[in-house]
A = this chain, B = another copy of it.
Amino acid sequence: MTIVIRRTLMLPVVMLLMMMPTSHADELNGWQQGATLNRIKSFVAAVTDRQSPDFVPPEQRVAVIDNNGTLWAEQPASPQLLFALHQAQLMVKDNPELISQPVFKAANDNNLALLREQGIEGLLQLFIATHVGLPIVEFDARVNRWIVEAKNPLSKRLHTDMTYVPMMQLLAYLRQHDFDIWLVTSGSAGFVRAWSERVYGIPPDRVIASELKTEYRVLNGRPSLIHMPEVGFINTAGNKAVAINERIGRRPILAIGNADDDIAMLQWTAAGDGRRLAMLIHHTDGEREWAYNKSKYASSLERGLQLAEQSGWLVVDMKADWRQVFSWQ
């Protein structure tokens, strides 16, 4: 367990620690007892036990974790896409002529099917139009205003209540065991960082995300970073492995994803020396969440399941392995 202590606060913190129980029996109680949970625990035990041949020093206990579909729900669409829809609707209010563009028409009608018919190009057009043109600080505030009230259109729950209880517990468990947790998401840095620390306890510098092309300019004497209407880096598939190396500079020992888009991240992690754990969250629970493997625009998980079988990756069966999915269930 790593505790960051300011020296002036040390004595009270030490006293507090001495009062804490040393076991946390209920810390993973959103998981069913069984092979999946055992495999997670035995991995963590092996890399944290100084007597183990698999021991990994704390500074090298790097964990990389996907966001959409891994830490929170991505059905019927990723929250960032729903945020983009909302922003597009505000734009249409101000500029009704925008509706002549199919992407804005689809967004304005909350018509996800029509939006997806516009293809990746259409989605990128929507993202860029709704994410560009604001100073970073104002964009953050806009995301935060939205996220405290926006609800999942199917469950009618806040997006921040659509996080998976077992995964939130796993984050806490990994932190207790000195893991250095990085969020590796296809979402944009500006969107995810606005809430990742509050919701996941993951600070801005631990978010590896997609980026719009950005330029530095001094405007009217004011140093400014300006998002260009152009994609700078899309953090998906092989790019996730590239970004992990560029940003962390160490190979992770634990990787968790839920889609074929996460294969490279899992492969890159698993191919390192020593003990590693590569995990896929499989959406099998049509009652408590959604059951899906194939999806044209959200995460597909097909090749990943084959590779998991060949490579011994751990596949988490949401229906069988999770006692609880959402906190409100």
Contacts and interface: CB of A to CB of B under 8 A. Distances in A.
Interface residues of A, number: 45
Contacts of A270: 223
Contacts of A217: 238
Contacts of A291: none
Interface stretch (A84-92, A242-250, A315-323): A242-250
A266 B191 CA distance: 26
Chain B CB within 10 Å — which of A6, A218, A249 has the most?
A249
A214 B6 contact: no
A17 B6 contact: no
Contacts of A245: 136, 214, 225
A250 B225 CA distance: 13
Given A223-B268, A225-B241, A267-B223, A246 B6 contact: no
Given A136-B245, A238-B216, A3 B14 contact: no
A189 B2 contact: no
A24 interface: no
A264 B271 CA distance: 39
Nearest to A62: B205
Contact of A223 (B1, B136, B203, B264): B264
Contacts of A246: 189, 211, 214
Interface of A: 1-7, 10, 14, 17, 58-59, 136, 178, 189, 193, 203-205, 207, 211, 214-218, 222-223, 225, 237-239, 241-242, 245-250, 264, 267-268, 270-271
Given A3-B7, A136-B245, A222-B271, 10 more contacts: A3-B4, A6-B178, A203-B249, A204-B248, A204-B249, A205-B247, A205-B249, A205-B250, A218-B267, A223-B268
